[in-house]
Structure 1
Amino acid sequence: MVTAQHEALHRIFQEDPSLFARTFERLLDIPLPADCAVSVIDTDLTELSPIERRVDTVLQLKTDLGDHLVIIEAQTGAKPKKSSSWAYYVSYLHAKHHCPVILVVVCLDGITARWARRPKTIGLTDRPTLTLKPIVLGPDNVPVITDVAEASADVWLAVFSALTHGRSPEVADILEVLATALDTIDPGTAGYCAELTEVGLGDTDARQLWRTLMSTKTYRYQSEFAQQLRAEGHVEGEAKMLLLILDRRGITISEEARERIRTCTDVAVLESWAHQALTIDSADELFA
């Protein structure tokens, strides 16, 4: 079952596709052409068969050296069967688009990161037909950003730092700096980053730390997004947050659907809808 935390780990690259290039250059020392243009493309790999296969995020790189595709998969645990899905994704996209395909796996812990980095083979043990070697981002190579100036210079990278270090000892310092850095950008984007951070921290102590920050500190962006959300049971704030997420993602929603959201009094339902709103393609999917 896909969780909101899982979605946040890869969706951050959809919100700021160029973050991919910066992580490659800064964290992995893999340079990309200066004129590299990055965009998000359709992640649906469904064929005519009834089996649906959907990649987390796919980015398209257009450079003078040719096109490349980048698959970004969020992984919250070691799942041996996942390697066959990754091999399918890479092979399918390579066959469809006739260009190099890069697999990037984002992990939340060191154990999963070490598993993801191990080569995955298909074929004979000593003569594999296919060897899959993902590029892995995780707590061991994503920087711990605890400097306000550094976080303010690249807010999306600071959010990514918070998500990947949600279980690290330094997470309290990371979140404190992130909350301050968000106050340096426009309130709309900052509020969305605040919500994405909360969702992405999942069921961790760090999420409660983040909520405490949002409810006890005063930031400009809270008046737009986060402030009304933080108090548990605040139905009106949850409904407003959901509508803002849908509007920001460009999801067209009818007045009837808006009224259904506004009149909902179940906080758990509103939270569930808010998590779904990060991934759906139409308003109809929200109530399916």
Structure 2
Amino acid sequence: MVSSSHEAMHRIFQDHPTLFSRVSETLGLPFPSPTAVTALPNDVTETKAVDRRIDTLLRIDTESHGPFLLAVEAQKKKDPEKSASWGYYLAYLRSKYRLPPLLLVICQDRATAEWAARPDPIGFCSWPSLTVRPLVVGPGNMPVISDPAEAVDDLALATLSTIVHGASPDIEGILKTMSTALRAVPDDVRNPVVEFIFQGLDKLPAADIWRKLVVVDLSFYKSSFFQEVRAEAKAEAKAEVRAEVRAEATTARAAEDVLAVLDMRGLDVPEEARARITGCDDPDVLRGWLRRAVVATSVDDVFRTE
């Protein structure tokens, strides 16, 4: 099943079609600036028997070099079969649209990015008829944005960078930068960014950090997605409180049981010992005291160390 992280890594190019221009500039590649960008159908199915879909497909027009096709693929892990699919996509797009296709692969970890970036020649012996050579964006070549002002200047690029660095040890600082930057932007700009980051982090530990930052720093954020997240957080907090209350009640009953047994056996319980029993919050210790209270000849026997 396709994860929300997978969707966020490529769908951001649909919502921000000119993002590729800034990505190519960031990577130091000499692609011309677009004059127009058009989202195209991502269905590259050849027959009904084989369903093939590119994650995101854009037609980008440029003034100096004419139009080209940008196929964006989100890749979460190494897949030996993927290169063959990519080769098919490129050949199909070239044949169908009669335009030069470019493959952009977005990764969240360095190992997958390095694997995806390796050229894969298709041919026989030393004569490749076609070489699949994606342009790859990953933690190794996407800059970490640590300045909120820089993030505000280009929120789309900052959002992509945040998603790509989702597993980075620096992710907490990156997310704090984003939450700070988002305070200064309107709701209609902020809300999609918040949700893209939620989706992009998916099940990574950083998702919990982002959830807490949004609750604290962006408490005014009101999207339906966030309301669900906030409801989950409240439910978790209530569950924790209920668990603590149950634990306290259990230990309180256990302490009462110890005192009840000592009272039934007619043993004197000084105030100091009574306070020690009622103040204990360790169920295991209380269970041990209860067992010893059944056979003890004095309160001191209850507290003895076995």
Q: TM-score, normalised by structure 2?
A: 0.72
Aligned to 1:41: 40
Shift of 1:82: 0.3
Structure 1: distance between partners of 2:131 and 2:228: 46
Give the residue type in structure 2 aligned to 1:58: L
Aligned to 2:122: 122
User: Following superposition of structure 1 onto structure 2, how do residues 55-134 of structure 1 map, counting pairs within 5 Å?
Assistant: 55-64=54-63, 65-134=65-134
Contact 1:191/1:225 (<8 A) preserved: no
Cα offsets for 1:68-101 (capped at 9, x unmatched): 0011100011101000000010000000111111
Aligned to 1:31: 30
Structure 2: distance between partners of 1:188 and 1:43: 27
C-alpha spacing 1:218/1:99, structure 2 compared with 1 (3 Å)? closer
Give the residue type in structure 2 aligned to 1:155: L
C-alpha spacing 1:218/1:28, structure 2 compared with 1 (3 Å)? closer
Aligned to 2:12: 12
Aligned to 2:154: 154
Shift of 1:35: 4.9
Contact 2:27/2:142 (<8 A) preserved: no
Q: Which runs of 5+ in 2 are unaligned?
A: 235-306
Aligned to 1:271: none
Aligned to 1:274: none
Give the residue type in structure 1 aligned to 2:183: D
Shift of 1:108: 0.6
Q: Percent identity?
A: 40
Structure 1: distance between partners of 2:70 and 2:35: 13
The alignment covers a number of residue pairs equal to 233
Contact 2:21/2:34 (<8 A) preserved: no
Structure 2: distance between partners of 1:91 and 1:80: 19
User: Following superposition of structure 1 onto structure 2, how do residues 221-236 of structure 1 map, counting pairs within 5 Å?
Assistant: 222-224=221-223, 228-233=227-232
Structure 1: distance between partners of 2:229 and 2:223: 13
Aligned to 2:166: 166
Shift of 1:210: 0.4
**Worse-superposed segment, 57-66 or 8-17:** 57-66
Shift of 1:57: 0.5
Q: Which runs of 5+ in 1 are unaligned?
A: 236-288
Structure 2: distance between partners of 1:46 and 1:200: 27
Structure number with larger C-alpha Rg: 2
Structure 2: distance between partners of 1:133 and 1:63: 22
Contact 2:34/2:60 (<8 A) preserved: no
Structure 2: distance between partners of 1:32 and 1:124: 31
Contact 1:215/1:227 (<8 A) preserved: no
Structure 2: distance between partners of 1:67 and 1:21: 13
Contact 2:21/2:31 (<8 A) preserved: yes
Cα offsets for 1:103-157 (capped at 9, x unmatched): 1111111100110111112221422221111110000011101101101111111
C-alpha spacing 1:190/1:225, structure 2 compared with 1 (3 Å)? farther
Shift of 1:21: 0.6
Shift of 1:225: 5.2
